[in-house]
Amino acid sequence: MTPIIQTEALTKVYGANGAAVHALRGIDLTVEKGEFVALIGPSGSGKSTLMAILGCLDLPTVGTYTLDGRQVQGLSGGELARIRNEKVGFVFQSYNLLPRASIVRNVELPMLYAGVGRKERRERALALLEKVGIADKADKLPATLSGGQKQRVAVARALANNPALLLADEPTGALDSKTGAEVLDLFRELHQQGNTLLLVTHDPSIAALAQRRVEIRDGLIAVAEGVA
Ligand SMILES: Nc1ncnc2c1ncn2[C@@H]1O[C@H](COP(=O)(O)OP(=O)(O)O)[C@@H](O)[C@H]1O
Ligand SMILES: [Mg+2]
């Protein structure tokens, strides 16, 4: 079976010459379909940089990346955006919902970009809101929701185009521990349903919930643990 993520000797350099920052220095990472992996490491180790490349938000400086069978390195910005919208769902610490759009519109948006018709968009968005447990909020604006509810909307939006890969960067970082645990339960449920998840965290107790932990230090993979 083709892995969802396969990188070889991935490097990322920000800036140039004297000001160059070597954020990634040769990452070899494989994530199989259906895995739930936690990416851990101290602040500044390169987690967000790697996540941006894996999510097709940015390109590596050197090295290869294949996402669900598609070679990513060397693509144009437009091609990268298309693959991103088709194959990746994102959940960020700060939710990143559109404040003026209703909850259901927020969830519909990735489908709009993908060219899904109005009726199917609405049906699918409502089904996703049902799945994450907040169908009753469909017509509300994001500002009326609690942090935990906003993160559920973000998860529903991330699932909109049935992505090959779900990426979450510190998804519970802004939540109290009880609400955070509920959101993590949702991720575990998604894993059990066959989704492929990569969760970035600096919190070992959150990383412990994943099936496998990958540790990054100074832009290199330090430890890759097997199935717990
Ligand atoms: N846009 C950028 N320009 C320059 N340096 C950056 C940029 N983004 C990140 N860095 C640097 O790259 C390194 C890795 O950062 P980052 O990927 O954000 O780490 P983490 O998410 O693990 O905290 C750090 O030294 C950081 O300062
Ligand atoms: Mg970060």
The pLDDT tens digits along the chain (228 residues) read 899 999 999 999 999 888 999 999 999 999 999 999 999 999 999 999 999 999 999 999 999 999 999 999 889 999 999 999 999 999 999 999 999 999 999 999 999 999 999 999 999 999 999 999 999 999 999 999 999 999 999 999 999 999 999 999 999 999 999 999 999 999 999 999 999 999 999 888 899 999 999 999 999 999 655 554
- Using CB distances shorter than 6 Å, the residues near ligand 1 are 14-15, 21, 23, 41, 43-49
In angstroms, the CA 49 to CA 114 distance is 26
Please tell me the predicted confidence (pLDDT) of residue 74.
Answer: 86
Whole-model pTM: value is: 0.93
Ligand 1: centre distance to CA 13 (Å): 10
| Gyration radius of the chain over CA positions | 17
Exposure on the CB side of residue 216, measured as CA atoms within 13 A: 29
Please tell me the predicted confidence (pLDDT) of residue 1.
Answer: 83
Nearest to residue 10, comparing CAs of 69, 59, 77, 67?
A: 59
In angstroms, the CA 34 to CA 192 distance is 8
Structure tokens belonging to residue 217? 């230090």
Atom of ligand 1 nearest to the CA of 202: 22
Structure tokens belonging to residue 53? 């490349």
In angstroms, the CA 103 to CA 81 distance is 23
Ligand 1: centre distance to CA 19 (Å): 13
Domains and CATH numbers, the chain: 34-58+75-214 (3.40.50.300)
In angstroms, the CA 160 to CA 203 distance is 28
| Residue 175 DSSP one-character state | S
CB 191 within 8 A of CB 212: no
Please tell me the predicted confidence (pLDDT) of residue 17.
Answer: 87
Residue nearest to atom 16 of ligand 1 (CA): 46
Please give all residues whose CB falls under 5 A of ion ligand 2, grouped by chain where several chains appear.
47-48
